Amino acid sequence: MKQLWLTAKLDIVESLRARWFQIYTLVFGGIVALLFLFGLTESRVLGFIGLSRLLVTYIQLTMAILPIFVLITTVRSVAGDREAGVFEYLLSLPVSLSAWFWGKILGRYVVIFTPVFAAMLGAVLWALVVGIEVPWGMFGYYTALLAVMAACFLGLGMLISAVARGTDVAQGAAFFVWLTLLLFLDLILLGVMIQGKVAPELAVTIALANPLQVFRTAALALFDPQLIVLGPSAYVILDLFGITGFKIFALVYPAVLGLAAATLGYHLFRRGDLP
């Protein structure tokens, strides 16, 4: 356990000094600052006003940015460390491979989740200061959703890092995974459905296997519980899960997916050449 904490701490210290982390923090802090600056809390869209409106916008933007950011920075730094000889040296020290791998994940998780959460927390604190009502239920669920999203894509990133040896290959693979998930949000599924080649239920099932789609739908469900904007797909989802069931699914499925990817990555890492 000591080795795990030491490795996690090491990764946090290394990341805090990396340029990607500074940009990452700036992006999410900047989003919240800009949303306040442009008076989003004063605007009314779909009946949402105040902090709810800001949180809805923030989570939509986060869902667009966080997955690719986490994937690319994870594979870049892990594969980059391997290429630069960091693994060769640090893995010559008496640390077990499980403590190293999971410690690295733990440290990185803290580093990628903290700025996203801190930005949202900052918005809530500011709302309290200026007297805007805080939707605590929404804030709590969005926090859980962001935590799970970070874990899911971190797990996928670590799996890619374990499979791809070089930085270029790892980066290309990460981009390919993100692009595939993005295309399966709408474009490919819509195309296939229009051609009438798959049943709507199958298309919806494929869509729900996509963590990006799960996050997007769960975020929608908070301000549109009947998922009206999804059209007929909403019937399949609500028949299958119900509103609460889907909210739980949206937290459990991506977490399990991320954990499974990380576990597979660990086994590949342990069995392969380390540096």
Partner 1 sequence: MIKFQNVTKTFRRTRVLDGIDLEIGLGERVALIGSNGAGKTTLIRCLLGEYNHAGLVTIEGRSPRAERAAVLGMIGFVPQLPPPLKMPVGQLIDFAASLCNSDPQRIFDLARRLGLDVDGVVSRQFVKLSGGMKQKLLIAIALGRDAKVLVLDEPAANLDPEARKIFFELLAERAATATMLISSHRIDEVSSLVNRVIELDMGKVVLDDRVADDVSLSGRLDCRIAVKRPEPAFAKAMADWNFTDRGDGIEWTGEVAGPDRLRFMGMTSRYVALISAISLKEVDAKVGAGDTASAAAAALPGTAA
Q: Is residue 91 classed as helix, strand or coil in its secondary structure?
A: coil
CA distance 207 to 54: 27
> Given the structure tokens 């699914």, which residue do they identify?
249
Residue 12 CB partners (closer than 8 Å, separation 6+): 107, 110, 111
198 touching partner 1, by CB under 8 A: no
- What's the min distance (Å) between Cβ of 85 and partner 1? 5
Out of 115, 122, 172, 275, the only residue in the binding site for partner 1 (CB under 8 A) is 275
Helix (H) or strand (E) holding 212: helix 211-223
Q: In the complex with partner 1, which residue's Cβ is closer, 93 or 130? A: 93
Out of 34, 45, 97, 187, the only residue in the binding site for partner 1 (CB under 8 A) is 97
Contacting range for partner 1; rule: CB under 8 A; set: 152-160, 170-178, 235-243, 267-275: 267-275
Contacting range for partner 1; rule: CB under 8 A; set: 12-20, 40-48, 56-64, 215-223: 12-20
Contacting range for partner 1; rule: CB under 8 A; set: 24-32, 91-99, 226-234, 241-249: 91-99
Token digits for 99? 């403590």
Q: Considering Cα of 218, then 214, then 41, then 66, what sign does the dihedral take?
A: positive
Out of 94, 131, 231, 232, the only residue in the binding site for partner 1 (CB under 8 A) is 94
CA distance 225 to 29: 29
Of 83, 21, 131, whose CA–CA distance to 275 is shortest?
83
Residues that bind partner 1 (rule: CB under 8 A) add up to a total of 28
274 touching partner 1, by CB under 8 A: yes
Q: In the complex with partner 1, which residue's Cβ is closer, 64 or 274? A: 274
Contacting range for partner 1; rule: CB under 8 A; set: 5-13, 29-37, 182-190, 198-206: 5-13
- Name residues contacting partner 1, limited to 14-53 (CB under 8 A): 14, 17-18
Query: Got the DSSP string for 27-78?
Result: HHHHHHHHHHHTTGGG--BTTB-THHHHHHHHHHHHHHHHHHHHHHHHHHHH
- What's the min distance (Å) between Cβ of 90 and partner 1? 7
Where along the sequence are the contacts to partner 1 (CB under 8 A)? Answer: 2-3, 6, 9-10, 13-14, 17-18, 84-97, 271-275
